[in-house]
Amino acid sequence: MGQWDDNAAPDIEVRQLSVWYNQSAALQDINLKVAAGQILAVIGPSGCGKSTFLRVLNRMIERFSSVRVKGMVRIGPFNVLDEHVDVTRLRRAVGMVFQHPNPFPMTIFDNVAYGPRIFGIRSPTQLRKTVEDSLKLAALWDEVRGKLRRGANTLSGGQQQRLCIARALAVNPRVLLLDEPTASLDPVSAAKIEELIVQLKSQYTMVIVTHNLQQAARISDMVAFFEQGRLVEMGNTQDMFTAPRERRTEEFLTGRFD
Protein backbone atom coordinates (compact mmCIF):
# COMPACT_ATOMS: atom_id res chain seq x y z
CA MET A 1 0.00 0.00 0.00
CA GLY A 2 1.26 3.44 -0.82
CA GLN A 3 4.02 4.37 -3.17
CA TRP A 4 6.90 6.59 -2.34
CA ASP A 5 10.21 7.63 -3.74
CA ASP A 6 12.26 4.54 -2.99
CA ASN A 7 15.53 6.41 -3.28
CA ALA A 8 14.85 8.44 -0.16
CA ALA A 9 14.67 6.81 3.26
CA PRO A 10 11.22 7.33 4.74
CA ASP A 11 11.30 10.23 7.16
CA ILE A 12 8.01 9.32 8.80
CA GLU A 13 7.02 5.73 9.31
CA VAL A 14 3.78 4.69 10.96
CA ARG A 15 3.03 1.05 11.74
CA GLN A 16 -0.19 -0.40 13.11
CA LEU A 17 -1.13 2.82 14.83
CA SER A 18 -4.41 2.77 16.76
CA VAL A 19 -5.83 5.46 19.02
CA TRP A 20 -8.77 5.30 21.41
CA TYR A 21 -10.58 8.08 23.23
CA ASN A 22 -12.06 6.36 26.27
CA GLN A 23 -13.42 3.20 24.66
CA SER A 24 -14.12 4.48 21.16
CA ALA A 25 -11.49 4.00 18.50
CA ALA A 26 -10.37 7.17 16.71
CA LEU A 27 -7.73 5.52 14.55
CA GLN A 28 -7.38 1.86 13.68
CA ASP A 29 -4.36 0.11 12.33
CA ILE A 30 -2.78 2.91 10.32
CA ASN A 31 0.30 2.05 8.24
CA LEU A 32 2.09 4.60 6.08
CA LYS A 33 5.43 6.13 5.19
CA VAL A 34 6.44 9.59 4.01
CA ALA A 35 9.77 10.19 2.28
CA ALA A 36 12.01 13.06 3.33
CA GLY A 37 11.19 16.34 1.63
CA GLN A 38 7.71 15.26 0.53
CA ILE A 39 4.28 16.61 1.34
CA LEU A 40 1.62 14.19 2.48
CA ALA A 41 -1.93 15.52 2.36
CA VAL A 42 -4.39 13.84 4.70
CA ILE A 43 -7.97 14.13 3.51
CA GLY A 44 -11.29 12.71 4.61
CA PRO A 45 -14.66 13.68 6.03
CA SER A 46 -14.96 15.42 9.40
CA GLY A 47 -14.29 13.17 12.34
CA CYS A 48 -12.31 10.65 10.28
CA GLY A 49 -9.28 10.93 12.56
CA LYS A 50 -7.13 13.30 10.47
CA SER A 51 -6.37 15.70 13.30
CA THR A 52 -5.87 12.86 15.74
CA PHE A 53 -3.32 11.37 13.35
CA LEU A 54 -1.45 14.66 13.14
CA ARG A 55 -1.40 15.06 16.90
CA VAL A 56 0.08 11.62 17.39
CA LEU A 57 3.11 12.60 15.33
CA ASN A 58 4.29 15.21 17.86
CA ARG A 59 2.58 13.57 20.83
CA MET A 60 0.29 16.55 21.35
CA ILE A 61 -2.40 13.88 21.59
CA GLU A 62 -1.37 12.99 25.12
CA ARG A 63 -2.47 16.40 26.37
CA PHE A 64 -6.02 15.04 26.19
CA SER A 65 -6.87 12.86 29.14
CA SER A 66 -8.21 9.35 28.68
CA VAL A 67 -6.51 8.73 25.35
CA ARG A 68 -4.75 5.46 24.52
CA VAL A 69 -2.24 5.04 21.70
CA LYS A 70 -0.82 1.77 20.34
CA GLY A 71 1.58 1.03 17.51
CA MET A 72 4.90 2.33 16.23
CA VAL A 73 5.71 5.78 14.88
CA ARG A 74 9.19 6.73 13.79
CA ILE A 75 10.16 10.25 12.70
CA GLY A 76 13.81 10.55 11.72
CA PRO A 77 15.72 9.23 14.71
CA PHE A 78 12.75 9.48 17.09
CA ASN A 79 10.81 6.45 18.22
CA VAL A 80 7.85 8.75 18.85
CA LEU A 81 5.66 6.56 21.03
CA ASP A 82 8.51 5.29 23.21
CA GLU A 83 7.81 6.55 26.70
CA HIS A 84 11.49 7.44 27.14
CA VAL A 85 11.61 9.72 24.12
CA ASP A 86 12.48 13.33 24.92
CA VAL A 87 9.17 15.01 24.03
CA THR A 88 10.75 18.46 24.07
CA ARG A 89 13.35 17.46 21.47
CA LEU A 90 10.71 15.62 19.46
CA ARG A 91 8.42 18.66 19.30
CA ARG A 92 11.37 20.83 18.41
CA ALA A 93 12.04 18.53 15.45
CA VAL A 94 8.35 18.27 14.52
CA GLY A 95 6.85 21.75 14.21
CA MET A 96 3.10 22.34 14.16
CA VAL A 97 0.92 24.98 12.56
CA PHE A 98 -2.69 25.20 13.64
CA GLN A 99 -5.99 25.89 11.90
CA HIS A 100 -6.43 29.31 13.48
CA PRO A 101 -3.33 31.51 13.51
CA ASN A 102 -2.29 31.59 17.17
CA PRO A 103 0.52 34.11 17.54
CA PHE A 104 1.34 34.84 21.18
CA PRO A 105 0.23 38.23 22.54
CA MET A 106 3.71 39.71 22.19
CA THR A 107 5.81 41.41 19.53
CA ILE A 108 6.54 39.89 16.15
CA PHE A 109 10.17 39.48 17.17
CA ASP A 110 9.35 37.79 20.48
CA ASN A 111 6.96 35.40 18.75
CA VAL A 112 9.66 34.08 16.44
CA ALA A 113 12.32 34.20 19.17
CA TYR A 114 10.10 32.29 21.61
CA GLY A 115 11.26 28.81 20.61
CA PRO A 116 14.99 29.62 20.44
CA ARG A 117 14.76 31.34 23.83
CA ILE A 118 13.02 28.33 25.33
CA PHE A 119 15.96 26.26 24.12
CA GLY A 120 18.39 28.56 25.87
CA ILE A 121 19.60 30.90 23.15
CA ARG A 122 20.27 34.26 24.81
CA SER A 123 22.69 36.05 22.47
CA PRO A 124 20.86 39.03 20.90
CA THR A 125 22.90 38.76 17.69
CA GLN A 126 22.06 35.12 17.28
CA LEU A 127 18.39 35.72 18.08
CA ARG A 128 18.19 38.56 15.55
CA LYS A 129 19.72 36.36 12.88
CA THR A 130 17.40 33.45 13.65
CA VAL A 131 14.36 35.72 13.60
CA GLU A 132 15.37 37.31 10.30
CA ASP A 133 16.17 33.96 8.68
CA SER A 134 12.91 32.41 9.84
CA LEU A 135 10.82 35.35 8.67
CA LYS A 136 12.56 35.21 5.29
CA LEU A 137 11.88 31.48 5.04
CA ALA A 138 8.24 32.15 5.86
CA ALA A 139 8.08 34.89 3.16
CA LEU A 140 7.07 37.48 5.74
CA TRP A 141 10.32 39.42 6.13
CA ASP A 142 9.62 42.04 3.47
CA GLU A 143 6.28 42.87 5.06
CA VAL A 144 7.48 43.18 8.65
CA ARG A 145 11.08 44.40 8.48
CA GLY A 146 11.44 47.48 10.65
CA LYS A 147 8.19 46.59 12.45
CA LEU A 148 9.48 43.69 14.50
CA ARG A 149 8.68 45.45 17.78
CA ARG A 150 5.02 45.77 16.91
CA GLY A 151 2.48 43.44 18.41
CA ALA A 152 1.76 40.31 16.41
CA ASN A 153 -1.94 41.18 16.58
CA THR A 154 -1.35 44.13 14.25
CA LEU A 155 -0.81 41.67 11.39
CA SER A 156 -3.55 40.39 9.09
CA GLY A 157 -4.79 36.82 9.47
CA GLY A 158 -2.65 35.53 6.61
CA GLN A 159 0.42 37.33 7.93
CA GLN A 160 -0.26 35.90 11.38
CA GLN A 161 -0.34 32.41 9.93
CA ARG A 162 2.99 32.99 8.16
CA LEU A 163 4.32 34.34 11.46
CA CYS A 164 3.26 31.08 13.10
CA ILE A 165 5.09 29.18 10.37
CA ALA A 166 8.17 31.36 10.96
CA ARG A 167 7.86 30.65 14.69
CA ALA A 168 7.84 26.92 13.97
CA LEU A 169 10.80 27.20 11.58
CA ALA A 170 12.88 29.17 14.09
CA VAL A 171 13.70 26.04 16.10
CA ASN A 172 14.94 24.30 12.94
CA PRO A 173 12.52 21.38 12.67
CA ARG A 174 12.80 18.56 10.13
CA VAL A 175 9.08 17.92 9.88
CA LEU A 176 6.15 20.37 9.74
CA LEU A 177 2.62 19.37 10.68
CA LEU A 178 -0.04 21.65 9.24
CA ASP A 179 -3.58 21.30 10.59
CA GLU A 180 -5.82 22.94 7.98
CA PRO A 181 -3.50 25.95 7.87
CA THR A 182 -5.60 27.92 5.37
CA ALA A 183 -9.09 26.99 6.54
CA SER A 184 -9.60 30.26 8.40
CA LEU A 185 -8.03 32.53 5.77
CA ASP A 186 -9.32 34.48 2.78
CA PRO A 187 -8.43 33.06 -0.68
CA VAL A 188 -5.53 35.46 -1.34
CA SER A 189 -3.89 34.78 2.01
CA ALA A 190 -4.54 31.07 1.58
CA ALA A 191 -2.82 31.14 -1.82
CA LYS A 192 0.24 32.76 -0.27
CA ILE A 193 0.43 30.08 2.40
CA GLU A 194 0.13 27.37 -0.26
CA GLU A 195 2.91 28.98 -2.25
CA LEU A 196 5.04 29.11 0.88
CA ILE A 197 4.41 25.45 1.64
CA VAL A 198 5.56 24.49 -1.85
CA GLN A 199 8.70 26.62 -1.44
CA LEU A 200 9.54 24.95 1.86
CA LYS A 201 9.01 21.47 0.50
CA SER A 202 12.59 20.57 -0.36
CA GLN A 203 13.80 21.46 3.13
CA TYR A 204 11.10 19.94 5.29
CA THR A 205 8.94 16.87 5.30
CA MET A 206 5.35 17.97 5.71
CA VAL A 207 2.04 16.46 6.66
CA ILE A 208 -0.94 18.67 5.91
CA VAL A 209 -4.50 17.99 6.97
CA THR A 210 -6.88 19.74 4.62
CA HIS A 211 -10.56 19.91 3.76
CA ASN A 212 -9.69 21.56 0.49
CA LEU A 213 -9.25 18.86 -2.15
CA GLN A 214 -7.93 21.28 -4.78
CA GLN A 215 -5.32 22.34 -2.29
CA ALA A 216 -4.30 18.76 -1.69
CA ALA A 217 -4.08 18.24 -5.45
CA ARG A 218 -1.99 21.37 -5.97
CA ILE A 219 0.62 21.05 -3.28
CA SER A 220 1.01 17.45 -2.13
CA ASP A 221 3.13 14.59 -3.42
CA MET A 222 1.13 11.92 -1.66
CA VAL A 223 -2.46 11.76 -0.52
CA ALA A 224 -3.89 9.63 2.29
CA PHE A 225 -7.65 9.23 2.48
CA PHE A 226 -9.00 8.52 5.96
CA GLU A 227 -12.51 7.41 6.78
CA GLN A 228 -13.88 6.48 10.19
CA GLY A 229 -10.44 6.09 11.69
CA ARG A 230 -9.10 3.88 8.93
CA LEU A 231 -6.68 4.62 6.13
CA VAL A 232 -8.74 3.71 3.09
CA GLU A 233 -6.16 4.45 0.46
CA MET A 234 -2.84 6.20 0.02
CA GLY A 235 -0.97 6.92 -3.16
CA ASN A 236 0.84 9.59 -5.08
CA THR A 237 -1.31 12.61 -5.66
CA GLN A 238 -1.77 12.30 -9.40
CA ASP A 239 -2.83 8.66 -9.22
CA MET A 240 -5.20 9.32 -6.36
CA PHE A 241 -7.00 12.10 -8.17
CA THR A 242 -7.09 10.48 -11.59
CA ALA A 243 -7.38 6.80 -10.84
CA PRO A 244 -8.22 5.96 -7.23
CA ARG A 245 -8.33 2.24 -6.54
CA GLU A 246 -11.00 2.31 -3.88
CA ARG A 247 -14.64 3.11 -4.60
CA ARG A 248 -14.96 5.15 -1.37
CA THR A 249 -12.01 7.33 -2.37
CA GLU A 250 -13.53 8.02 -5.75
CA GLU A 251 -16.87 8.90 -4.22
CA PHE A 252 -15.20 11.28 -1.79
CA LEU A 253 -13.07 12.95 -4.45
CA THR A 254 -15.97 13.44 -6.81
CA GLY A 255 -18.28 14.70 -4.10
CA ARG A 256 -20.67 11.75 -4.33
CA PHE A 257 -20.16 11.05 -0.66
CA ASP A 258 -22.90 10.48 1.83
Binding-site size for other proteins (CB under 8 A) equals: 27
Residue 255 within binding range of other proteins, rule CB under 8 A: no
Beta bridge pairs of residue 21: 24, 67
Rounded Cα gap, residues 135 and 109, in angstroms: 9
Among 65, 125, 202, 242, binds other proteins (CB under 8 A): 65
Closest CA to 72 of 85, 60, 63: 85
Beta bridge pairs of residue 57: none
Among 51, 52, 58, 215, binds other proteins (CB under 8 A): 58
Residue 12 within binding range of other proteins, rule CB under 8 A: no
Q: Any idea what DSSP says for residue 151?
A: B
CA 124 to chain centre: 29
Beta bridge pairs of residue 226: 231
Residue 22 within binding range of other proteins, rule CB under 8 A: no
- Residues 185-224 touching other proteins, rule: CB under 8 A, are none
Residue 114 within binding range of other proteins, rule CB under 8 A: yes
Do 16 and 31 touch, CB atoms closer than 8 A? yes
Mapped onto helix, strand or coil, the DSSP state of residue 109 is helix
**The amino acid at 168:** A
- Residues 123-142 touching other proteins, rule: CB under 8 A, are none
Among 118, 123, 153, 257, binds other proteins (CB under 8 A): 118
Among 53, 98, 109, 241, binds other proteins (CB under 8 A): 98
Rounded Cα gap, residues 166 and 144, in angstroms: 12
x/- contact string, 158-187, with other proteins (CB under 8 A)? ------x--xx--x----------------
Stretch that binds other proteins, among 58-66, 123-131, 193-201, 203-211 (CB under 8 A): 58-66
Residue 46 within binding range of other proteins, rule CB under 8 A: no
Mapped onto helix, strand or coil, the DSSP state of residue 201 is coil
Residue 120 within binding range of other proteins, rule CB under 8 A: no
Across 171-253, where does the E strand assignment appear? 175-179, 205-209, 222-227, 230-236
Residue 105 within binding range of other proteins, rule CB under 8 A: yes
Residue 23 within binding range of other proteins, rule CB under 8 A: no
Residue 80 within binding range of other proteins, rule CB under 8 A: no
Do 197 and 24 touch, CB atoms closer than 8 A? no
Q: How far is the CB of 55 from other proteins (least distance, A)?
A: 10
Residue 68 within binding range of other proteins, rule CB under 8 A: no
Mapped onto helix, strand or coil, the DSSP state of residue 218 is helix
| List of residues contacting other proteins (CB under 8 A) | 58, 60, 63, 65, 87-92, 95-96, 98, 100, 102-106, 114-115, 118-119, 164, 167-168, 171
